[in-house]
Structure 1
Amino acid sequence: MNNAKRKEILTRLRDANPNPETELNFASPFELLVAVTLSAQATDVGVNKATAKLFPVANTPQSIYDLGVDGLKEYIKTIGLFNAKAENVHKMCRILLDQHNGEVPESREALEALPGVGRKTANVVLNTAFGWPAIAVDTHIFRVSNRTKFAMGKTVEKVEEKLLKVVPKEFKVDVHHWLILHGRYTCVARKPRCGSCIIEDLCEYPDKTE
């Protein structure tokens, strides 16, 4: 795919959704960090249901740490892998209190040193909480990037590397939101909804649906 076509795709996605946002509910960088950590192998809807009960009770490193692991589990037990996630979030809170004055660090290295936080989670926090031009490649972005031939790669790391290279600066902060939403609602996994796709004529997927 050439760069002119890529720019037109991004322009259309921006025109359709000028201010894209994550579908996770949060009111602070810490709430976002917790929500993204809980969202691994879980839906945003499921995470939002759990945090809607958790955050009014505990939404700071100290208050969640004070719940204890078992107390935290009670709030997140509807989420997949909740036992491991409760352990990770509890340890994360201790580290934030001990090493970062209870604040979420605006540093990739510091974020990735937290329990349960990998590159994708760090990218989401850096992008959504702090406005970095970071691109968190999840299954939706990986699929859309490869299927459309926008940024092809055999691993999420390769797709992220390609996206950072080919996405113009003006689109970098919002591109991961557009691609996630496009993959979640239009370019879906089993049968893409090509007939209702605003970039169908630009996409290079050979097996388009009606």
Structure 2
Amino acid sequence: MSATDAARVGTGLAFVVMPLVFVFAFATHPDLLRPRVLGPEQLIDRARGRRLLHAGHGLVTLNTGLMIVVALHLGSLVRSHGADWAGLVGTLLAVLGTVCLAADKGALCLTMSALDDLSDVEFAAARPALSAIFAKKGWLWLLWGIVLIPIGFAVLAIAALTSGATSPWVAILLLVGVLLIGFPDGAEIVNLGAAITMAAGLVPFGLTMILQ
């Protein structure tokens, strides 16, 4: 296998694995059928002791690397079909948002996994610090940069649709998926549906790349 073939297969695998990781991660959230808005305190309580949830968040942290691969490939693809500015701007926004997502999972989710073995008294003592973290105090406001993910990928999806860089159904499923996948915490059933929608478009696209 040449280096070019290896890059093609690796990129195709990124398109296959990336959305499936999100499907798994959102499926691990408790009370999927009881959507409601959760504040920082409720998020702290929900995350404590949820080892499967922590595993899902850990995978999402690693998945950000695959998200960047997908964004770069989509950007290159739409630019090769004449959508130069859309490819550039969409890729930039998607990559910046993905970096913020990695920071978000590290600061909020992986931190909670380190506290699973604390006693109730020890956890209560740590709660003020956790509340400040989950409320995104200080420079944690940068974590709001995750909103750039749906914006960036939506730009790429629309560019792919209008330029013919991908088949229409791939672009449409990606667009619908990315616009809904950032739904607020507490209604992960919507995020799960969005991840499945995105997978329906990206997985066959990735498999086609692998089998070329």
* Fold conserved between structures, TM > 0.5: no
Give the TM bin, normalised by the shorter chain: under 0.3
Q: TM-score, normalised on structure 2?
A: 0.26
